[in-house]
Amino acid sequence: MSKITLTSLNKMKKEGRKIACLTAYDASFARIIDEAGMDITLVGDSLGMVIQGSESTLKVSMRDMIYHTRIVSDVSKHAFIISDMPFMSYATPAQALGNAARLVAEGGAEMVKLEGGAQFAETIKLLAEHGIPVCAHLGFTPQSINKLGGYKVQGKDQDTARQIARDALLLEAVGADMLVLECVPADLGAEITARLKIPVIGIGAGVDCDGQVLVIYDLIGITPRQARFSKNFLETSASVQAAIKKYIREVRNSEFPGEDHRF
């Protein structure tokens, strides 16, 4: 298998081929995911919950993200590697540039992901100007859980939906190379995907996004609570490897997410 690059992902978007993405935090899962043919491996700050046992992502540090990103990138030969910038690691553009550079140089990330809309336009522009690919993250943003008042679908009313769409277009214009869209109505996911030239990866955003991402522990059914947008692929598979390949196949064929996994 050839190495997936940002050019590869943009070509998939243009040709209408679905992109499969899954989280990994350690060498064992990263290797299995890579060998299965995953397009993107995301080293998510979700490790705060699934690895560290916290209630949210807020306690995850830059040290944590660099450590786990390095482990994953060291064994990944095929998948494109994205790493989350943790809570308050990009409060100013200058701070964001320094921390993003560390994730790339020390962690081996090929792209960094940060949460938030128009308020981070200057930050994304600065990173792009310094050659650091950026994935924006809109809709439900886990680092803002205290502000949002819990895990809630975003963009259900017309005003909020319009704001999310405006933010998506703005962040693309200032240099974002990809967008993760989380927990929004499926019709909003479809609209934003159609309007953007960059790949849009959905999680609880409907089947019409350019690709899908799940947390590996949700995919194999070992998290305490299964979110509506996720699916236990191990339940109908003989092994973890088979479950991951089934996920990739269902994403590619637009079978996942189904009606039961959308808002």
Residue 139's H or E segment, with its range, is strand 134-139
For residue 111, the surrounding DSSP H or E stretch is: strand 111-115
Q: 87: which 2 tokens?
A: 């809570």
Q: State the amino acid at position 179 in one-letter form.
A: L
**Per-residue confidence at 259, pLDDT binned at 50, 70, 90?**
confident
Q: Is the pLDDT of residue 149 over 90?
A: no
The average pLDDT across 64-84 equals: 98
Q: Homologous superfamily of 6-256 in CATH?
A: Phosphoenolpyruvate-binding domains (3.20.20.60)
The answer to whether 93 and 122 are in contact (CB under 8 A) is yes
Mean pLDDT of 169-197: 98
Cβ–Cβ < 8 Å for 23, 216: yes
Instruction: Give yes or no for a contact between 139 and 183, defined as CB atoms under 8 angstroms apart.
Output: yes
Do residues 144 and 120 touch, judged by C-beta distance below 8 A? no
Query: Which of 97, 89, 48, 88 is CA-nearest to residue 68?
Result: 48
Tokens of 50: 């699934």
Cβ-proximal residues to 58 (8 Å cutoff; 6+ apart), any chain: 48, 87, 143, 145, 146
- 182 annotated active-site: yes
Q: How confident is the model at residue 152 (pLDDT cuts 50, 70, 90)?
A: confident
Looking at the predicted structure, is the pLDDT value of residue 198 above 80?
A: yes
**Which letter does DSSP use for residue 7 in this model?**
H
Q: For the chain, what percent of residues have pLDDT higher than 70?
A: 100
Q: Which residues pair with 135 in a beta bridge?
A: 113, 178
Please tell me the distance from the alpha carbon of residue 35 to that of residue 30, in angstroms, as a whole number. 9
Q: What is the pLDDT of residues 223-243, one digit of tens each?
A: 888 888 999 999 999 999 999
Q: Is 90 exceeded by the pLDDT of residue 148?
A: no
**HSE-up of residue 225 (Cα within 13 Å, Cβ side):** 5
Domain ranges of the chain: 6-256
pTM here? 0.97
**Is-contact 62 109, C-beta < 8 A?**
no
**Active-site annotation holder among 172, 182, 191, 250:** 182
